[in-house]
Amino acid sequence: MDAMHHDGALARARALLDKVPLFDGHNDLPWVIRTDRDARGDVKAYDLNRVHQRGDTDIPRLREGMVGAQFWAAFQPTNAPHPARTALEQIDLIRRLEEAYPETFFPARKASDVARAKRLGKIASFIAVEGGVGLEESLAPLRIWQAAGARLMTLCHNESLSWVDSATDPPRAGGLSAFGRAVIGELNRLGMVVDCAHVSHEAMRQVLDVSEAPIALSHSNAFALCDHPRNAPDDVLARLKDNGGIVMATFVPGFISQALRDYLAGSRDKYGKAPAGVDPKEALAAVEAQKGPAPRATLEELADHIVYLVKTAGLDHVGIGSDFFGGPQPLGLESVACFPALFAELFRRGFDEKALAKIASGNLLRVLRAVEKVGKRLSKERPPQLGRAEDFAG
């Protein structure tokens, strides 16, 4: 038996997660189900009750990983056809997931639902929309998404939109346009979390300037340790203290390991994006065929990021946002079953139970409660914001 199992840290981690729900901020299972060649979006056909060896998320391993709450991403690529329709289809897929496995998933629409789900022995299921392309430059869809259950919106994905700049694309909006600021205002009014995980550093700063509620970086690491543009710079991390927001450490190997980022530099564009529409595991294998084995990101390196995030943003402003998506994962974090191993490593780093309870879910629940409170206040103070991007030009 290796040291991880006999030093007592893993037992401590499991005991903690038995008491405190683990709330993961980002998982792309809905897109995996949609693009599965056999299931093609049919949740029942995908069969979450069996272990998917080629994937990383299913019910047996969610249970093994002691996941207590999950934000599922209603994701679509920026260039997907029919973006408004696709966003609704992805929200619908998450709702069908909840309906297909009622013994496992509790439809969660507010922070207090996490405790309700835990009492019932279920996983609280939250809906996030990843990518504002589905708005088609109109504010109205925000209200439909919220009515359908969405409680977080990642403003963009890997490409810039006319109203918000992506971290991994040339800028188009100078950070955030007037319409972009209106999107932030309406998300605040609706009680939805504004997520800056994919926006440029300048857009992060501008969102922090205008948001009336705490924001999230739902799946980002520390730029100081790995200079991928998707990671958060120190000045943004420091501002989370005043904003009340949260940064959620992510498992994407290229956001963890500087050595891997450097290795991949020649096969990616200058922003670090992989070729669009290519299976990530196949893409990595193709690079390795030319350059030899890639450096592997590790669980321990992710723990380094978490230690740094706590030091820079503060203990009250750090969480976990895995971004499991069926792609390559770090050594020790191959699937949703591995969360206890990460918390065991954090125990070894000197964190106590109180601190890790905050990282596991306490901080994200505080953010959700604050966002809900702001939404209730703003919804009484002002009417729904109307308009399309062209209405805010000039």
Give the three-class secondary structure for 10: helix
Give the three-class secondary structure for 199: strand
For residue 160, give the DSSP letter: -
Candidates 369, 371, 304, 365; CA nearest to 332 is 304
Q: Is 157 a catalytic residue?
A: yes
Q: Considering 24, 26, 58, 372, which one is annotated as catalytic?
A: 26
Q: Considering 98, 130, 137, 195, which one is annotated as catalytic?
A: 130
Q: Considering 195, 301, 323, 372, which one is annotated as catalytic?
A: 323
The per-residue pLDDT string of the chain (394 residues; one tens digit each, 9 = 90 and over) reads: 354 456 899 999 999 999 999 999 999 999 999 999 999 999 999 999 999 999 999 999 999 999 999 999 999 999 999 999 999 999 999 999 999 999 999 999 999 999 999 999 999 999 999 999 999 999 999 999 999 999 999 999 999 999 999 999 999 999 999 999 999 999 999 999 999 999 999 999 999 999 999 999 999 999 999 999 999 999 999 999 999 999 999 999 999 999 999 999 877 777 777 666 677 778 888 888 988 999 999 999 999 999 999 999 999 999 999 999 999 999 999 999 999 999 999 999 999 999 999 999 999 999 999 999 999 999 999 999 999 999 999 7
Give the separation between CA 34 and CA 310, rounded to whole angstroms: 36
Look up residue 219 and give its amino acid: H
Candidates 29, 36, 89, 31; CA nearest to 59 is 29
Render 212-228 in DSSP notation, one character per residue. SS-EEETT--BTTTS--
Domain ranges, ordered by start, for the chain: 21-389
Q: Is 26 a catalytic residue?
A: yes
CATH 3.20.20.140 fits 21-389, yes or no: yes
Candidates 172, 155, 167; CA nearest to 232 is 167
Q: Is 130 a catalytic residue?
A: yes
101 class by beta-carbon count within 10 Å (0-12 exposed, 13-18 middle, 19+ buried): middle
Q: Considering 98, 137, 186, 198, which one is annotated as catalytic?
A: 198
Q: Is 28 a catalytic residue?
A: yes
Strand pairing category for 150-154 and 105-107: unpaired
Q: Considering 157, 201, 305, 317, which one is annotated as catalytic?
A: 157
Contact 177, 392 (CB under 8 A): yes
Candidates 284, 195, 288, 296; CA nearest to 251 is 296
